[in-house]
Structure 1
Amino acid sequence: MMLSLRDMTVSYGGLAAVDRIDLDVAEGEVVALVGESGCGKSSLARALLGLLPRTATVTGSARLGDDELAGRTDWKNIRGRQIAIVPQGAMTGLSPVHRIGGQLTEMLTLHGGHADPAELLERVGLHAATLRCYPHELSGGQRQRIAIALALAGEPRLLIADEPTTGLDVITQRQVLALLTELGTTMLVVSHDLAGLMPYADRVAVMYAGRLAEVRPARTLATEHAHPYTAGLLNATPVADRQVSWGSIPGSAPALDLLPSGCRFAPRCPVSTSLCADEDPLLRWHGAAQVACHHHEKPTFPVVPRGVHTPGGPVVHVAAVHHHYRTRSRTVEALRGVDLDIHGGEIVGLVGESGSGKSTLARIILGLIRPSSGRVEIAGEELTTRRGRALRRLQQRIGFVHQDPYDALHPGMRVANLVAEPLVTTGTPRDNRVRDAISAAGLPTTEEFLQRFPGQLSGGQRQRVSIARALAADPLLLVADEATSMLDVSTRAGIATTLRTLAVDRALAVLFVTHDLGEAVQSCDRIVVLRNGTVVEHGLSADLASAPSHSYTAQLLEAARTT
């Protein structure tokens, strides 16, 4: 075996984040390690590279060929040469002030690689001209390819890819995953996207609360999976088909200091019994798979609701919006005559790949930038011509949910103060608005929760706090810009359910900006497809998913159904 883990455990302060894992990766094999945030995937990956903090303890065995990695202190000839990583957030990990050629040359020198920088670029599907570029001149997919090239510079035997497609549009995701699997390198791919990895992996290892729940050949996973958690992850992946429901796993993975006895998934499992609460299931062989479960019934999970009502009056009216900006050498047309309407109680999905103009249009609707031409009206009042206090007064009627729940909240502010911040800024009395907004976002309103800091919250809870903060001023419009792209699939379903409830209960107009067409099909009433700043198609979600009229929409649908 290329990589062999035996009884491997990673602990922080005596609490096991990775608990007695046995797993093999054969030479040339691609193994996908999947599970929600907090299940121990990244701790396992970092342990294999010696990147854990000093407070962590690693026991058991992790052998890469003849080299023992567990507890190792000298990584000089191992990291980068024997084993390398494409880290999470690699697109922003490149030096912004150095050209790509210089960064590749530095990595080759550091790890003794023998390839030429141009050869590395060719291997990841990029032209030699890219060597002269700075990272900001490249697309997200190109930067991710550069990160892969950097990892390959030392000619490693094992490559670990940690969430390699997070934040990328579906077309680019498929290209990056296809590239990784075509390299011919032994690989451990760490991700929360089970369905997206299945077409590209040889085997899938499903991890939950520090332990393996199921290990199975990828080709049989969709039809023969046996663990309820595996079924929940598959069900929680949005499919670009309205005939297929989008499910969600209730609750969240347990904290290390609150692990339940017995099966750790039992508190969230629809088929759990008293046996599950009392007895910890062992990982046992069942044919070609390993499963840790006392039962094999097919579970049923709650589904994300869809709109069943008639939308109210128009809240947003965008008419003939153009926007261009200048670079040193040219003028870029970001938007070209975009028209868009959103009604109260309606969720409209704005879909397109990176660079299509989605975020530019969202910023114009938020009043953050002025369009080159065209009009934006909020509840009949024109936004584009307003300045100063008049603009800020209208902006108070718009709520905004940021893409990154980890950067959007001040780490030194408590939940109650974070949600109250828009009210304090505008001098609006708090009354019961803070608790009402927190409750509407699906969070508890206990004093203990209100006094928590963001560091004490899960990713899903942080994003719900962002939603609550956006709701505090009782807006007419909520703009969610890639609000679920960095969350687990199960958490994304919960956020989508919350947005639907808000749209119905508050007659709130919601603009849902996303690169995930599957998620838009499942959670939105209507979809607007942008490409190169132009609306190429719009219509009801069901109609667009079943019979797209534009080839680009069909391409997005195909990518969503095959990743």
Structure 2
Amino acid sequence: MTLSLRDLTISYGGLTAVDAISLDVAEGEVVALVGESGCGKTSLARALLGLLPRTASVTGSACLGEDELAGRTDWKDIRGRRVAIVPQGAMTGLSPVHRIGAQLTEMLTLHGGHAEPAELLERVGLPPAMLRCYAHELSGGQRQRVAIALALAGEPRLLIADEPTTGLDAITQRQVLALLAGLGTTMLIVSHDLAGLMPYADRVAVMYAGRLAEVRPAGTLAAEHAHPYTAGLLTATPVADRKVPWGSIPGSAPALDLLPEGCRFAPRCPLATSLCAEEAPQLRSHGTAQVACHHHDKPTFPVVPQGDHPLGAPVVRVAGVHHRYRTRSRTVEALRGVDLDIHAGEIVALVGESGSGKSTLARIILGLLRPSSGRVEIAGEELTTRRGRALRRLQQRIGFVHQDPYDALHPGMRVASLVAEPLVTTGTPREHRAARMRDAVSAAGLPVTDEFLQRFPGQLSGGQRQRVSIARALAADPILLIADEATSMLDVSTRAGIATTLRTLAVERGLAVLFVTHDLGEAVQSCDRIVVLRSGTVVEHGLSADLASAPSHPYTAQLLEAAQT
């Protein structure tokens, strides 16, 4: 069944989030709608399901076959039956107290589906035995597959997948996208990962600041893209090959109340002229594509720097670390004799899929978890045997950047207070806090204006929030920074900017950085060395360039293949 959008416009309190979008999705076609956070793609998806807040205003048309979805009030026979969604964060959206079978049965009953729960699991590649499982007993990829099965329960004609691979490792991402593409259902996949979606979509629609920038067959996008923003998204996706530069789009997408006249990408575009600032380009046919741009040249974007500087003394030494998690029924070996060194000025990537032990090792180095055996030294001082005040004193030399920039910051505290808080807890004299706070904010790549320092987290973009988290981690002047999946929830363009900031900190401050990630492409591009962890064991380690060009372990080769785009 065809989805047809015509001049679809969505506004919030007079501010336009989606601006006259016209797009068709043919029956059985997979269309990827891509763009940075705040571009309007999620608002568009929610409009197709009637999930916008009451304050939103919708005009134009969105027809699914003969059913008009724009502005609709009665969704009883539409939502879940004719159009369904795999929501963002579906991995944590399952009920923790009901078995998978019960959740599937409930969805089948609610939407009048005719399949059996076991059939739905089989369709998403899971065995019937998982009907008796609870969500916590499944891996991230398995939970995402269950979320897809729930969306399929009502036999919808249109499936909307909103950021379906966020937080998943590269191998699982490919598996989930291949599963979605192979369902044979008309589908709109909403994501910020342009390069990752190209092998699985039929067409790609690139969206920026509420407007379509380019619509093109996915198979021709890499070679024939014509819009500078599309080029920026492609170059901002890290490839596990150091010969391919990792680019960064400067600046950030405009807020709804600060949309520029003319082309909305002009303030960030290397090709922008006075014409771009004055006249908004229209979406016009360009071969097999549609492009909204006054230019057709190829832009050049800044490149994320790679390490080529001398290193300092060892800051971290991890030797023979084992860790076991014990429950009443079993013992899990989370880490098996891990060794790791990090020097001053060095960025070391800890890479592996979900469940490999990365976060467990990070918690041990932070002193939040005592290993079953082995030792950890920070600047020559033993960490693992310390308690109380002695442990806290050593922990103050370690900065930590959390994975989720939206949950890591207190929503009721201003930027200045958030960054200064570690200085209060470490006993820094009051007269020195303001200068230390501003120095940390500047080092994290943020403005130190009074207006910015008085903002709340809700007034910041995802990238700005993560930079505030970095500033908090830097405030107490640490010698080690641990970034645990610090870019996994950010746009590709924002990730490149964060990687540039971490490199600057390593070089200028001599900071040792442990970069925990499941993205081997990002690790190859931005880190000096890579340690590959699988099932709690280091299977390979070495210089980033050497490991990328000639991996010695099959698992590393598998990760590299998943990182290629």
Compute the displacement of 1:255 (Å). 0.4
Counterpart in 1 of 2:543? 540
Q: Secondary structure at 2:564's aligned position in 1?
A: helix
Compute the displacement of 1:427 (Å). 1.6
CA contact 2:325–2:332 (8 Å) conserved in 1 = yes
Deviations 1:266-303 (A, max 9, x none): 00000010000011100000111000000001000000
Counterpart in 2 of 1:302? 302
Corresponding pairs, count:
562
Q: Secondary structure at 2:38's aligned position in 1?
A: coil
Give the whole-Å Cα distance in 2 for the aligned partners of 1:308 and 1:546.
18
Give the whole-Å Cα distance in 2 for the aligned partners of 1:37 and 1:431.
32
Cα 1:329–1:284 shift into 2, 3 Å: same
**Structure 1, unpaired ranges of 5+:** none
Counterpart in 1 of 2:461? 458
2:40 aligned with 1:37: no
Give the whole-Å Cα distance in 1 for the aligned partners of 2:521 and 2:220.
23
Counterpart in 2 of 1:142? 142
Q: Secondary structure at 2:525's aligned position in 1?
A: helix
Which among 508, 513, 517 is matched to residue 510 of structure 1?
A: 513
Counterpart in 1 of 2:201? 201
2:372 aligned with 1:369: no
Give the whole-Å Cα distance in 2 for the aligned partners of 1:494 and 1:321.
33
Counterpart in 1 of 2:452? 449
Give the whole-Å Cα distance in 1 for the aligned partners of 2:465 and 2:561.
32
Which among 505, 524, 527 is matched to residue 524 of structure 1?
A: 527
Deviations 1:194-252 (A, max 9, x none): 00000000000000000000000000000000000000000000000010000000000
Counterpart in 2 of 1:152? 152
Give the whole-Å Cα distance in 2 for the aligned partners of 1:541 and 1:129.
41
Deviations 1:365-387 (A, max 9, x none): 00000000000000000000000
Deviations 1:428-466 (A, max 9, x none): 121511000000000000111110000000000000000
Counterpart in 1 of 2:69? 69
Give the whole-Å Cα distance in 2 for the aligned partners of 1:227 and 1:471.
38
Which among 540, 560, 563 is matched to residue 560 of structure 1?
A: 563
Counterpart in 2 of 1:289? 289
Q: Secondary structure at 1:49's aligned position in 2?
A: coil
Compute the displacement of 1:426 (Å). 2.0
Give the whole-Å Cα distance in 2 for the aligned partners of 1:308 and 1:141.
37
2:344 aligned with 1:358: no
Give the whole-Å Cα distance in 2 for the aligned partners of 1:231 and 1:431.
41
Counterpart in 1 of 2:118? 118
Note the 1:148-187 alignment, pairs <5 A: 148-187=148-187
Give the whole-Å Cα distance in 2 for the aligned partners of 1:22 and 1:325.
53
Give the whole-Å Cα distance in 2 for the aligned partners of 1:288 and 1:345.
48
**1:437 is aligned with what amino acid?**
A
Q: Secondary structure at 1:337's aligned position in 2?
A: strand
**Structure 2, unpaired ranges of 5+:** none
**1:149 is aligned with what amino acid?**
A
Give the whole-Å Cα distance in 2 for the aligned partners of 1:265 and 1:176.
32
Deviations 1:147-167 (A, max 9, x none): 000000000000000000000
Which among 438, 451, 464 is matched to residue 435 of structure 1?
A: 438
Give the whole-Å Cα distance in 1 for the aligned partners of 2:253 and 2:453.
21
Give the whole-Å Cα distance in 2 for the aligned partners of 1:466 and 1:284.
42
Give the whole-Å Cα distance in 1 for the aligned partners of 2:280 and 2:561.
41
Give the whole-Å Cα distance in 2 for the aligned partners of 1:26 and 1:513.
40
Note the 1:70-89 alignment, pairs <5 A: 70-89=70-89
**1:224 is aligned with what amino acid?**
E
2:322 aligned with 1:319: no
Note the 1:321-340 alignment, pairs <5 A: 321-340=321-340
Counterpart in 1 of 2:391? 391
**Percent same amino acid among aligned pairs?**
89
Q: Secondary structure at 1:4's aligned position in 2?
A: strand
Counterpart in 2 of 1:47? 47
**1:29 is aligned with what amino acid?**
E
Give the whole-Å Cα distance in 2 for the aligned partners of 1:248 and 1:296.
20
Give the whole-Å Cα distance in 2 for the aligned partners of 1:474 and 1:277.
42
CA contact 2:426–2:476 (8 Å) conserved in 1 = no
The runs of 4+ residues in structure 1 deviating greater than 6 Å are: none
